[in-house]
Amino acid sequence: MVGAVLIVGPIPPPYGGMALQAKALVERLRKDGVDVELLSTNPVIPTFLGRIKGVRTVVQSVFFLWNLAGSLLRSPIVHLLGASHWYFVLRVVPTAVLARLFGRRIILNYRGGEAPRFFASFPWLVLPILRLVHSIVVPSAYLQRVFRDFGYNATIIPNFVDLLRFRYRRRDRLKPNMLVTRSLEPLYNIRMAIESFAIVKQRYPEARIDVVGGGSEELALRAWVKQKGWTGVSFHGPVTNEDMPNYLENADILLNPTNADNMPINLLEAFAAGVPVVTTNVGGIPDLVGQDEAALMVNPNDAVSMAARIEQLLTQPQTVARVTAHAKLLSEQLSWDKIGRYWIELYGAGGRCDAGKNQNSIDLTTT
């Protein structure tokens, strides 16, 4: 029997991976009959306050803490989506402390490819909070290793992809139609993808790239592309989750140029839609895709190698068939029908996953 579950995490907008996964998780759990409440870590505040950066942060934090206290009265299990940096300070720390004071069982569902650097830089902050939680769950073997290095065991429940949202389309011969679906922030290194596109365009003048997402670098990237005189680059800004399948349907190659990552949802969505992927080999991505099995990988900040991988896909139909076949199988293994039961089982166990014992990955070959 599953008791009431409080999921604490961001909601769209912005349309980041953690927010989209939180929203999808709540929707799926409710369909499966789980009593679940979603508490937003980015609550809506009055518009005039939202325009003032420092004030916005303080007011949002006050709203969040007020809502958190009320929600903790109703739910014995707290499923806390965690990430690094200021999110950890302003959302993970107070949630863990208050939930413990209320006597709730705490599942820390940690995400984010920058965990190693953050943990190493701030152990005095991170480690005491980890001692407060009852279970640590991560999406990948990569993050499992990170926690193990700091003396904590974590169990793996991977991110899931909603296969009903995407139409799989087999692509036998690709056109040079590229797509980027990440926030326009320094971490995701969108510039590298555009540089790779510019190299490919020298040989394929008809090439185009759609940049989907918003962020602090958008204006600078637009100005840079204009200054370079590059054509075929379209910035679409942030789009809703409902619109993403349309962009994938019209794309032939997805580029993921990030400098750090864990188990990116945008790759899973591309796999489900049949779009071949060229990605950097950072964080948990090699664990996810294998050695060039479900995607082609390059080192970070290597636009020349990414361009070469793009051309490999454009000129080798057999490579496209191989990687998309592997990717399709992987996306099917990461459907809600395969992954959702692990969350329900964990909630039914009161949020326990045998803390202190060795935790293993979910074997995707048998789910």
- pLDDT surpasses 80 at 76: yes
At residue 356, the pLDDT reads: 35
User: What are the structural domains of the chain?
Assistant: 5-160+336-348 (3.40.50.2000), 163-333 (3.40.50.2000)
At residue 353, the pLDDT reads: 61
| Residue 358 CB coordination number (10 Å) | 8
- pLDDT surpasses 60 at 246: yes
Q: Which residue has the tokens 């499923």?
A: 79
From the list 15, 91, 31, the residue with the least C-alpha distance to 343 is: 31
- pLDDT surpasses 80 at 41: yes
DSSP state of 92: I
- pLDDT surpasses 70 at 360: no
The 3-state secondary structure of 186-241 reads HHHCHHHHHHHHHHHHCCCCCCEEEEECCCCCHHHHHHHHHHHCCCCEEEEECCCH
pLDDT digit string, tens, across residues 109-167: 999 888 999 999 999 999 999 999 999 999 999 999 999 999 999 999 999 998 988 99
Q: How high does pLDDT run on average in the chain?
A: 90
Q: Which residue has the tokens 């970070």?
A: 300
Q: How far is CA 246 from CA 194, 195, 241, 249, in A?
A: 21, 24, 10, 5
112: amino acid identity, one letter: G
Lay out the sheet containing 233-237: strands in order across. Answer: 233-237, 208-212, 177-180, 253-256, 277-280, 296-298
At residue 194, the pLDDT reads: 98
Kindly give the pairing relationship between strand 5-9 and strand 105-110: unpaired
pLDDT digit string, tens, across residues 164-220: 889 999 998 899 999 999 999 999 999 999 999 999 999 999 999 999 999 999 999
